[in-house]
Structure 1
Amino acid sequence: MQIKTIIASVFLSFTVHSIAKPIEQPYNLSQTSIARYQDVFHPVIGQLGMVSTQNQIATEVGLNILKQGGSAIDASVAVAFALSVTLPRAGNLGGGGFMLYHSADVAKNYAIDYRETAPSGVTAQHFLTADGKKDRVSATSWHAAGVPGTVAGMYKSWQIFGSGKLTWKQLLQPAIDLAEQGFIVNYDLAQILETKKDWLTESNSTARSFYKSDGSGYRKGDVLKQLDLAWSLKQIASGGAAAFYQGEIAEKIVADMEKHGGHIDIQDLANYQVKIKQPLNSGYHGYIIVGMPPPSSGGATIIQMLNILENFPIRQWGRSSSTLHVMAEAMKLSFADRGTYIADPDFNEVPVNWLTDKQRAQGLAATISLDSSINAAELKGQRLIDEGPSTTHFSIVDRHGNAVSNTYTLGYSFGNGKVIEGTGILLNNQIHTFSVRAGIEGAKGFIASKANKLEAGKRPVSSQSPIIVLKDNKPFLVTGSPGGSRIINVVTQMISNVIDHEMNIAEATNQRRIHHQWIPDLLEVEPGFNRDTFELLKQKGQKIKETYTMGSTQSILIKDGLLFGSSDPRRPNASTLGY
């Protein structure tokens, strides 16, 4: 009894002392602290390298490459090929995309355009019904497949910017192992395969790739092996990009095209070229925004929106209805220009300097009222085709300060749903994102972008928006997202959250998002938005529509010699790892 009394007395003494005196904090809770206890959300922290992707397995692959001495480019190659196995709805060999690369050695930025191109035999008529309307079925047909750019893009980036410490085959080996030995299926993949089963099993080769031999689907915990895809990856590991565009893989692609009425021929594959371009650059409150040039519409549109926002005191306003209203108006103005002017610059002159001019942005900002909303119907412009949201993005920073921001896609979830026989390779459906009604007599529908009309060899406009933000000419923020046209506004809000509102990268990621793309005249908001904010926005003339979540950002912020990363909680199984 005496012992119990002593213990109780000690415990009571400790409890009273703890309540009466504030707990001593182990860290200085200033804005520059590594751990900020006043924040609700906390980033992953690293010092030597970091990888942020939409798939945990791929993130682990990339981090292992960095730990082996590989560069950000080396890790990007390994991640891109791993995602083609473990995230088949978006990771790909049969799609394309855009990469921004910052080289720390020379303090320069490069834009790597490996967007798909229109094959020589496809025409706009392949996407129209007899009465001139857009044929919805054509979006997932063999007609919709563009010449893939992913393999060429990864190989070219490695050839030019790779570290030289790891061989091409070493970078592909993790993806080969995942395809050949299999990986454990998670709930997300099992669910999406079941949801899309009726469609995906219309193609026998797709059914064999993603469903069991008895026709049943994979469940969580099952092991998914993709032996045909492993064969393709081995071909590419041994022969480089030539194995895809000229070798046995190319022969299989062409054979399926001829069999099913597709349009990619052997010459289209042989002629495909990756383009190394000068990125777009613009200042924003002392930082430099580095964006992708056309045919990405993201770089120019994001810069234009930020140029408009720079004319308003949104840091002072915080994330208030005033800030969100001004953002919505900037979105309308910028998206009207996007649809009218952005195109493949090899086919159309794109007035990028005019679109991103700060003086012009001041004039646009002057048209924005703080109390009322612009009538979208009164803005002149031409609309672009909406893209599928099932794209994916990854961000990587290595120990030397090199950074990669990469977004690539199949278009729709699982592309056009067609796997090339014997290869395990899913095809994209990007040709349907051209404005197929533009310039076609008798075509019916909304006003289509003439600049984005379908032409052989052309690259369709894309919303993919990899971004690197520089401070003192060094990477400060690396970010990007999937989400179709919503990508542009998601990424813009990430930049604003970090720079204007000084949020840590996890806080910035977890904020509710808005989206306006000019037409339709609706301000989309994510579930869970503050209802009082709704009402204030409505009073300013905004037409509110609550929709599903937007984007899946994968982001890294570099500050005070450390790496801070965050994967978006809006998609399951995303992962950021640092060391």
Structure 2
Amino acid sequence: MFALPRVLAFLSILTFALPGSAQSILEGDRSVPVEARNGMVVTSHYLATDEALKVLEAGGNAVDAAVTAAFALAVTQPRSGNIGGGGFMLISSEKTGEVNAIDYRERAPAAATRDMYLNEQGEVDEKLSRFSDKAAGVPGTVAGLALALEKYGTISLAEALAPAIKLAEEGFVVPPRFSEGIRERALLLGVFESSRKVFFKPDGGFYEPGDLFVQKDLAATLRRIAEQGVKGFYEGQTADLIVAEMQRGGGLITLDDLKNYQPEIRKPVHGTYRGHDVYSMSPPSSGGTHVVQILNILEGYPLAESGLNSAKTIHLMAEAMKRAYADRSQYLGDTDFVQVPLKGLTSKDYADELRAHIDLGKATPSAEIRPGNPAPYESNETTHFSIVDKYGNAVSNTYTINFSYGSHIVVDGAGFLLNNEMDDFSAKPGVPNAYGLIGGEANKIEPNKRMLSSMSPTIVKKDGKNFIVTGSPGGSRIITTTLQVLINVIDHHLNIQAAVNAPRVHHQWLPDEIRIEQGISPDTIALLRGMGHTVEQKAAMGAIQSIMVGEDGVFYGGADPRRSTSSAKGY
């Protein structure tokens, strides 16, 4: 099977590579949050949690632990942890009162063009935009993590990389989820020789649970970063290996693209909700804008009275979600290239206008909803982790290579997967991407532009103190997953683990359906359908790793049981 030409293997792309998986909503009995007083780490892999916690125990701060966790995840969870992708980090300091955002989202190569994924008929070639070297944006993870450590950390980049290098060099024991993931994507990973060398045994067999997984090439790549800093990735041997892969596969990334990449420190989106300050990621993420926008709409309703996941509450959430995602399709993009009416979209007055058109007892068909008219313009398989420390710092970080295993292409000799984030641009206005999201002119492909994302690392503060630190993977469902954990804590008064565990719902305007997880009552579903909603139960959504800080200063960690390797630990 693995000797098949690429073109033949692509015949099964849609079966093997669309986002989402069929895992159960709960893979274990986890209902009580982990408690600690000095530090808390919640990640999607227990080995990354362990390494980050060691940093906190040794006196490091939340940023030190975050960078350590991110590199460890790049080794232990290559389907989403990465050095070949990008993401966003929010950092809150109670000492200074500041919340800062680091944007290390990937950028389009300088040679990218608006119609680069259109075929001769003018239609989008999904194979080209998702599973080819041309699908890769210029990676930002290494530069972003290095910037975070330089500006806000206390340990060296080499110290933060040491655990990841050891895990790659000496190997780690394969858990069932790792083995299952490779089997699920075997056909696509098997298309590329460089990927076969990494993810399959020399005889072509699968790594089974309990096997040792060693990544010598990745260890060498990480060691170059430890020794040379960001130049060890964006210049020299690693850069040469990336460009060689581009030349073999028809990709666009050049040595200049890599050398010129820079992360950005941005001002996060800020809103309020029932007396809490909500900080989330600003563009090129749409996540923070629409988390705040939806909360503003819902603030006008007594959700605590209507109850957790009642038909009325779900109806109101779905109607608010629809309107936000409609606005997303028109207004959101990289603010270095387009004007985004952030102030208008996140204003209470605009939420009042949108709320006035919501019928309390009847669904508004998506066909009747268009992007709204906010105040005038002012002059996207992912993984998330949350960390707090004893110094009053909190980190919320979400990063990705897009799909599980990204483009499925390993950079030969460097040992890491390339992202396929270029699919997050609007390859053709009005045509949905892999997550069904519609985009327009604001998110068209342009050279050096950052593609729009839904990643929503979020920090909620109460009376100036860190209160909730959260975020999730899940493509278009990241926004609504993050939103519901906030509502579950603030409106429904759930503890953080219960808030994470609760069944989720999602509406993204188009398609016009409420997507639900298992666990929503059949009676509730019947009531929603009676209101005119289409309701579809599908696979579990997101893997939101969250922390809540109690009024007594106790840290409560909630790891999402939707991922069997999720882990919350504190000390």
Q: After TM superposition, is the score higher than 0.5?
A: yes
Question: Contact (CA 8 Å) 1:395, 1:405: kept in 2 or not?
Answer: yes
Q: Which residue of 1 aligns with 2:499?
A: 508
User: What is the alpha-carbon distance in structure 2 between the residues aligned to residue 439 and residue 286 of structure 1?
Assistant: 38
**Structure 1 spans left out of the alignment, 5+ residues:** 1-38
Question: Contact (CA 8 Å) 1:439, 1:453: kept in 2 or not?
Answer: no
User: What is the alpha-carbon distance in structure 2 between the residues aligned to residue 572 and residue 439 of structure 1?
Assistant: 37
Q: Which residue of 2 aligns with 1:571?
A: 563
Q: Which residue of 2 aligns with 1:455?
A: 446
User: What is the alpha-carbon distance in structure 2 between the residues aligned to residue 309 and residue 538 of structure 1?
Assistant: 21
Q: Alpha carbons of 1:238 and 1:273: their partners in 2 closer, same or farther (altered >3 Å)?
A: same
Q: Which residue of 2 aligns with 1:268?
A: 257
Identify which range, 240-249 or 111-120, moves more after superposition.
Answer: 240-249
| 1:509 CA drift (Å) | 0.8
Identify which range, 262-271 or 245-254, moves more after superposition.
Answer: 245-254
Amino acid at match of 2:293: Q
| 1:337 CA drift (Å) | 0.6
Q: Which residue of 2 aligns with 1:199?
A: 188
SS of match in other structure, 1:127: coil
Q: Which residue of 2 aligns with 1:21?
A: none
| 1:192 CA drift (Å) | 1.1
User: Does residue 552 of the first structure (1) align with residue 546 of the second (2)?
Assistant: no
TM-score (norm 1): 0.90
SS of match in other structure, 2:80: coil
* Matched ranges for 1:458-473 at <5 A: 458-473=449-464
Identify which range, 251-260 or 53-62, moves more after superposition.
Answer: 251-260
User: Does residue 169 of the first structure (1) align with residue 158 of the second (2)?
Assistant: yes
| 1:481 CA drift (Å) | 0.3
Residue in structure 2 matching 1:339, options 325, 329, 336: 329
User: Does residue 562 of the first structure (1) align with residue 554 of the second (2)?
Assistant: yes
Q: Which residue of 1 aligns with 2:230?
A: 241
Question: Contact (CA 8 Å) 1:95, 1:428: kept in 2 or not?
Answer: yes
| 1:129 CA drift (Å) | 2.3
Q: Which residue of 2 aligns with 1:369?
A: 359
Q: Which residue of 1 aligns with 2:35?
A: 45
| 1:446 CA drift (Å) | 9.5
Q: Which residue of 1 aligns with 2:50?
A: 60
SS of match in other structure, 1:485: helix
| 1:40 CA drift (Å) | 9.0
Q: Which residue of 2 aligns with 1:352?
A: 342
Question: Contact (CA 8 Å) 1:370, 1:540: kept in 2 or not?
Answer: no
| 1:438 CA drift (Å) | 3.0
User: Does residue 112 of the first structure (1) align with residue 98 of the second (2)?
Assistant: no
User: What is the alpha-carbon distance in structure 2 between the residues aligned to residue 519 and residue 322 of structure 1?
Assistant: 21
| 1:439 CA drift (Å) | 9.7
Q: Could you list the runs of 4 or more consecutive aligned residues of structure 1 that deviate by over 3 angstroms after TM superposition?
A: 445-448
Identify which range, 133-142 or 322-331, moves more after superposition.
Answer: 133-142
Question: Contact (CA 8 Å) 1:72, 1:402: kept in 2 or not?
Answer: yes
User: Does residue 425 of the first structure (1) align with residue 431 of the second (2)?
Assistant: no
**Structure 2 spans left out of the alignment, 5+ residues:** 1-28, 373-379
Q: Which residue of 1 aligns with 2:67?
A: 77
SS of match in other structure, 1:426: coil
User: What is the alpha-carbon distance in structure 1 between the residues aligned to residue 407 and residue 71 of structure 2?
Assistant: 19
User: What is the alpha-carbon distance in structure 1 between the residues aligned to residue 156 and residue 354 of structure 2?
Assistant: 50
User: What is the alpha-carbon distance in structure 2 between the residues aligned to residue 200 and residue 455 of structure 1?
Assistant: 29
| 1:122 CA drift (Å) | 2.3
Amino acid at match of 1:198: L
Encode CA deviations 1:486-527: one digit per residue, 9 max, x unaligned.
000010000000001111001101111100000110011102
Amino acid at match of 2:181: I
* Matched ranges for 1:90-489 at <5 A: 90-138=80-128, 139-163=130-154, 166-319=155-308, 320-381=310-371, 387=380, 390-438=381-429, 448-489=439-480
Amino acid at match of 1:416: S
Encode CA deviations 1:304-362: one digit per residue, 9 max, x unaligned.
00000000011111122111110000000111011110100011000000000101101
Q: Alpha carbons of 1:322 and 1:573: their partners in 2 closer, same or farther (altered >3 Å)?
A: same
User: What is the alpha-carbon distance in structure 1 between the residues aligned to residue 169 and residue 74 of structure 2?
Assistant: 13
Q: Which residue of 2 aligns with 1:5?
A: none
TM-score (norm 2): 0.91
Identify which range, 214-223 or 245-254, moves more after superposition.
Answer: 245-254
Q: Which residue of 1 aligns with 2:79?
A: 89
User: What is the alpha-carbon distance in structure 2 between the residues aligned to residue 252 and residue 510 of structure 1?
Assistant: 42
User: What is the alpha-carbon distance in structure 2 between the residues aligned to residue 347 and residue 255 of structure 1?
Assistant: 30
Question: Contact (CA 8 Å) 2:437, 2:476: kept in 1 or not?
Answer: no
User: What is the alpha-carbon distance in structure 2 between the residues aligned to residue 125 and residue 361 of structure 1?
Assistant: 35
| 1:427 CA drift (Å) | 0.5
| 1:205 CA drift (Å) | 1.2
SS of match in other structure, 2:137: coil
- Rg comparison, structure with higher value: 1
User: What is the alpha-carbon distance in structure 1 between the residues aligned to residue 121 and residue 511 of structure 2?
Assistant: 24
| 1:215 CA drift (Å) | 1.1
Encode CA deviations 1:532-573: one digit per residue, 9 max, x unaligned.
000111111111111111110000000111000111111111
Question: Contact (CA 8 Å) 1:122, 1:143: kept in 2 or not?
Answer: no
- RMSD between aligned alpha carbons? 1.6
Encode CA deviations 1:156-183: one digit per residue, 9 max, x unaligned.
00000012xx322111110000000000
Q: Alpha carbons of 1:446 and 1:42: their partners in 2 closer, same or farther (altered >3 Å)?
A: closer
SS of match in other structure, 1:153: helix
